[in-house]
Structure 1
């Protein structure tokens, strides 16, 4: 018998992508790389590779978030939300990258 395999546990990670138009091109089931760019850094870095798009929320105020205490719509940075199926560690890396910079996606294609 071979070594015991541990099941990979995936979570749904909501991620704000800087370019809302790019998110508009995505569909559930697409596979993407998530790239983080921090202002002032010369190079971007890949935070997640070949992860599955679980959901692309529609009509939820793309690029804006409702903050009633601020008197209505306030920018949550630009962009739009996408929900990705990722491992827990990747979800944490995405959250950190999103808090410190702008995120972009590149669609992955099988070779």
Structure 2
């Protein structure tokens, strides 16, 4: 059975890192919590879009849209609500 991919907007804590990304890149998304070791939330996610940065607003970081399986999208939303997220290029 084919895995259904969805678009997942994700706020990455380091905006400068997001500026390095291009559509088609593959990234691992890592949740970094102070009291626990970092954990990979999404492995090998494809960058679908890197929206233009917001001007003078937002709560820090930068947005990136990833193409991931639905289950991974849920995990990203949960992790993003609780911790800071970072990416590493694959």
Unaligned runs of 5+ in 1: 1-5, 66-75
Number of the residue aligned with 1:50: 44
Number of the residue aligned with 1:3: none
RMSD after superposition:
1.3
Number of residue pairs the alignment of both structures matches: 90
Give me the whole-angstrom Cα distance separating, in 1, the residues matched to 2:45 and 2:39: 15
After TM superposition, the score normalised by the length of structure 1 is 0.77
Deviations 1:35-69 (A, max 9, x none): 0012x32411000000100000014337x33xxxx
Larger Rg: 1
Number of the residue aligned with 1:23: 18
After TM superposition, the score normalised by the length of structure 2 is 0.94
Give me the whole-angstrom Cα distance separating, in 2, the residues matched to 1:79 and 1:34: 14
Give me the whole-angstrom Cα distance separating, in 2, the residues matched to 1:9 and 1:45: 24
The answer on whether the counterparts of 2:11 and 2:61 sit within 8 Å (CA) in structure 1 is yes
Q: Trace 1:92-111 onto structure 2 (pairs within 5 A).
A: 92-108=74-90
Relative distance call for 1:50 and 1:95 in structure 2 (3 A) is same
Unaligned runs of 5+ in 2: none
Secondary structure of the structure 2 residue equivalent to 1:34: strand
